[in-house]
Structure 1
Amino acid sequence: MPFLPKTNIDQNLFLGQTADKGHYRFVDVLGSGGFGVVYRSRATDSKQDLAVKVVAQRSRSGKRAIQLRELDYHSQVCDHPNIVTFHRWFAESGFFFFVFDACLGGDLFTAITERHLYFYNDERARNAFSQILDAVGYCHSMGLAHRDLKPENFLLSADGNTVLLADFGLATMSSLSETFGVGSTFYMAPGMFAICVIRADVKLKQYSPKHSDIWALGVILMNMLTGRSPWRAAVHSEGCYVGFMHDPLYLRTMLPLSRPTTTLIGSILQLNPLLRLSIKDIKDEIMNIPTFFMSELEVSRASSHVQ
């Protein structure tokens, strides 16, 4: 399970209670984080299940500003079918309440690591990853980079067929950023850690958040197909990352990926961000790959890491 920082709200505080003059009844806890608790709530008039995030008003003004910016960004893109819908917010009894669509199929992380939904299932993986590409592509078309793309931030519908992007807390409208170290290290592009050396005479002192999103998409694709992360961080102390940088086919010594899939990932995870495939090109490639996985014969001949 991903680490969730503790909140100063008792998770059971609102269970069985109502808010907004009885309009929402809190049924159970969906999760918690540093800013509050997310409840599965039922609208008493429509009986619709919703997700309501509850945050104490006494949170520091800096945190409040971050939350409001997140909601502003989220509201600008939530009309897309693969982005969680944000409905409204209200204040009551010393708390803020933020109302979203409920995604009752859990998150993509659980679907990958516990349910193994995409392992050796080409069509399901193709369909889900295409939806992820659509969501991120739409954000980029609206001038927004997410900067925290990872399986934990994609939610599934109750039937598991629809994938929806959530959590815009690190999103930005900036085309270039000097804010290093944001996001989860597994999915961060090399330039997000510190100044990135492309070659001896080229050093990047800023990074493009949109191109960093594309890097994260490549890592997420590997997660979905294999249930594993190839490295803990894209840094030179990680042997697997160094091996991949020398030869993308190195991945096939660790993961049961077909050659076309490995070639595609190599085109996404380019050290030079300007050489990374566009989201449109990634989707075109995804649709044309016959299978993402090694055959049984290839697996039988592969290393023990693959088997």
Structure 2
Amino acid sequence: MSLDNNLNGVIINNYQIIKLIGTGAYGLVYLAKNLQTGEHIAIKAISKIINKKISKPSDLLSNKLLEFFNNGNSTINGLKSLDLVKLSNCNIDKDLPPCPFLKEVVIHLKLHQHPNIITIHQILDFNYCIFIIMDYYSEGDLFVNIVDKKIYQNSISLIKNCFIQLLDVISYCHSKGIFHCDIKPENIMVSSNGSKLIIGDFGLATQCEFINSKICVGSSYYMPPERLCQLNHNLSSSIEYPSNKGDLWSLSIILINLICIRNPWMKASEQDPTFNAFLQNPKILLKILPISNELYEILIKCLIENPFERISLFELRDLIINCNKFTKDGPLSKIDSLDQYMNLNQECLIPDYNNSTNSLEKKKSKTLSIGNSPILNQIYNNEPLNVLKFLSNGKNTGNMEPMISIHHINHINNYDNYSLMTNLSFNMNMDLEQQVGY
């Protein structure tokens, strides 16, 4: 079988590849068909081959897969499934090396039973990668539905319903001690004619309640100012800032996206003229955005430069439910039928930070301790390591061991050039190109 730079038609166990739908630093996402049921699914292939000399492992993975299938192979059969329960119960710091693809999978599995988080059905182990079998959403991501389809521009209740779903699912993540750190429209899938949102892509997620101010993680349009401390002189670069307040900031920008179909600024940096003007006079939002005074009062409680002073997700939820108008005029300035889309009596899961192991009162971030772990010592010495062996339900069919480098821990120090208007996300740290929420 000869392939022209794609895997279209290739069969992996019972799944036939239809087309490539997204790429990232470590992974490739394909639309595929379940040959037993006929339903469409998404397959994310994440590279095992991680080396500091390779800037984008997904390119190498793509070449390896093409080479394999062009060498007379059109089908891969008998790939073993990894044990999802074992994976979900893994302690990232103790049980696994700090490897990006394993970290993402473990974090995702700890959360994926929530109805607003993409479900992982199976993980197949191959020589060069793991194949993650997930739900496919034909309606696309939130970006497409906001910018191209414009399905939210005429209904307050639809926006409220969807935004409250986001608040609730992120509150759920926080209650589990997990912080997304890369909330943006491309990482949110849409179903049910736009009325249901599903979060995906936990590649930059963390279990650290506080993030060092020197770590720049996320996508620039949605990144809070504390992740850009070197560009914001009002914030100290010598302390750690709460991860949950960073997610709150990102959600607030998405709320603006839903209502205004635009971003307020390019990045929350003093070097950005619009954001700098906002710091000097927050009322500039009323001039650059068609928002109501009521929504303005909500936004300025969220978009506070000092994250410790921002309101909570629960407070934001209550304010949104009781907001009567989002814009000064037009369809979003009038209350429509709330019962059409939402149940205003639904309860939000509020993380109990005062009585949990991930208490924010401690104001101390979990750190990765190397200690005497043989796995981590192997990583630091750049030795070959097969970390998936104990997670397999059967014998590993691949004979190539993954090469893992400590240099690929998610410590992010550069900026990306993400633009809502281009639907492309470039994260210079992780070399992330177009993401599709998986």
TM-score of the aligned structures, taking structure 1 as reference length: 0.85
Pairs aligned (count):
284
Aligned to 2:6: 13
User: 1:167: how far off?
Assistant: 0.6
Contact 2:211/2:242, CA 8 A, preserved across alignment: yes
Instruction: Give, as a single letter, the amino acid of the residue that structure 1 aligns with 2:216.
Output: G
| 1:24 and 2:15 aligned | yes
Aligned mate of 2:306, from 258, 272, 275:
272
User: C-alpha separation between the residues in 2 aligned to 1:89 and 1:152?
Assistant: 23
Identify the structure with bigger relative contact order (alpha carbons < 8 Å, sequence gap 6+).
2
- Which shows bigger deviation, 163-172 or 83-92? 83-92
User: 1:244: how far off?
Assistant: 2.1
Aligned to 1:36: 27
Aligned to 1:302: none
1:80–1:11 CA distance, 2 compared to 1 (3 A): farther
User: C-alpha separation between the residues in 2 aligned to 1:11 and 1:59?
Assistant: 25
Aligned to 1:187: 222
Aligned to 2:255: 221
1:115-126 alignment to 2 at 5 Å? 115-126=149-160
| 1:155 and 2:148 aligned | no
Calculate the aligned-residue CA RMSD, in Å.
Answer: 2.3
Contact 1:267/1:276, CA 8 A, preserved across alignment: yes
User: C-alpha separation between the residues in 1 aligned to 2:123 and 2:111?
Assistant: 17
1:12–1:42 CA distance, 2 compared to 1 (3 A): farther
Instruction: Give, as a single letter, the amino acid of the residue that structure 1 aligns with 2:308.
Output: L
SS at match of 2:319: helix
Contact 2:229/2:237, CA 8 A, preserved across alignment: no
User: C-alpha separation between the residues in 2 aligned to 1:278 and 1:48?
Assistant: 40
User: 1:119: how far off?
Assistant: 2.1
1:66–1:93 CA distance, 2 compared to 1 (3 A): closer
1:111–1:11 CA distance, 2 compared to 1 (3 A): farther
- Which shows bigger deviation, 137-146 or 118-127? 118-127
Aligned to 2:329: 295
- Which shows bigger deviation, 62-71 or 149-158? 62-71
Cα shift readout 1:200-237 (whole Å, capped 9, x = no counterpart): xx665222211111111111111111111111111112
User: C-alpha separation between the residues in 2 aligned to 1:133 and 1:66?
Assistant: 26
SS at match of 1:192: helix
Identity %: 29
Contact 1:88/1:99, CA 8 A, preserved across alignment: yes
SS at match of 1:271: coil
Aligned to 2:268: 234
User: C-alpha separation between the residues in 1 aligned to 2:291 and 2:196?
Assistant: 24
Aligned to 2:131: 97
Unmatched 5+ stretches in structure 2: 58-97, 334-438
Aligned to 2:40: 49
1:286–1:11 CA distance, 2 compared to 1 (3 A): farther
1:161–1:205 CA distance, 2 compared to 1 (3 A): same
1:95–1:122 CA distance, 2 compared to 1 (3 A): same
Aligned to 1:72: 106
Contact 2:151/2:194, CA 8 A, preserved across alignment: no
Aligned to 2:174: 140
- Structure holding more strand per residue: 1
User: C-alpha separation between the residues in 2 aligned to 1:239 and 1:156?
Assistant: 33
Unmatched 5+ stretches in structure 1: 1-9, 300-307
User: C-alpha separation between the residues in 1 aligned to 2:259 and 2:242?
Assistant: 27
Cα shift readout 1:94-133 (whole Å, capped 9, x = no counterpart): 4321111112211111111212222242112111111111
Aligned to 2:83: none
User: C-alpha separation between the residues in 2 aligned to 1:141 and 1:173?
Assistant: 11
- Which shows bigger deviation, 58-67 or 141-150? 58-67
Cα shift readout 1:249-277 (whole Å, capped 9, x = no counterpart): 22110111111111101001112212211
Aligned to 1:128: 162
User: 1:81: how far off?
Assistant: 0.9
- Which shows bigger deviation, 83-92 or 69-78? 83-92
